[in-house]
């Protein structure tokens, strides 16, 4: 891995983090709750984009390492967030929101898998 590769991954990660923040704020403004809708939307969008990117990289082996390193690891790695997802799930449990937590966790897993598959087969 070259210094340029590392820089590219880091720059893409910075853009992914900024995009995550911007999308999270936009979704929170349009819903009555700051979480989990924003994290749910971000993670589902990221799952779709990762599936789309994986399919694209698989059919274009010449750009596979660039797409994987820069877009998948850098941008999407910073854009999506499992850690925020888990903290929000724990907060829902602590608040006694068991049903909402179950819908959030189960829905994130099921819809995330479907979004990734849809992205993968969209090409």
Could you tell me if 24 and 39 are in contact, meaning their C-beta atoms sit under 8 angstroms apart? yes
**Cis check: omega of the bond before 36, within 30 degrees of 0:** yes
Distance between CA atoms of residues 36 and 84, nearest Å: 9
Asked whether residue 84 is marked as a ligand-binding residue, the answer is no
Residue 74, annotated as binding a ligand = no
CB atoms under 10 Å from CB of 110, counted, come to 10
Residues annotated within a binding site: 77, 80
Q: Which residues are annotated as a binding site for Na(+)?
A: 77, 80
């Amino acid at each position: 891995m070259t210094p340029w590769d590392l820089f590219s991954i880091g720059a893409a990660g910075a853009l992914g983090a900024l995009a995550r923040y911007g999308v999270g704020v936009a979704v929170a403004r349009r819903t009555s709750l700051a979480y989990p809708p924003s994290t749910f939307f971000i993670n589902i969008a990221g799952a779709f984009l990762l599936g789309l990117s994986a399919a694209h990289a698989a059919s274009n082996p010449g750009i596979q390492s660039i797409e994987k390193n820069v877009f998948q690891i850098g941008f999407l790695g910073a854009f999506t967030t499992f850690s925020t997802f888990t903290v929000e799930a724990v907060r829902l449990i602590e608040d006694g929101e068991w049903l909402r937590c179950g819908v959030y966790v189960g829905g994130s897993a099921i819809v995330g898998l479907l979004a990734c598959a849809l992205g993968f087969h969209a090409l």
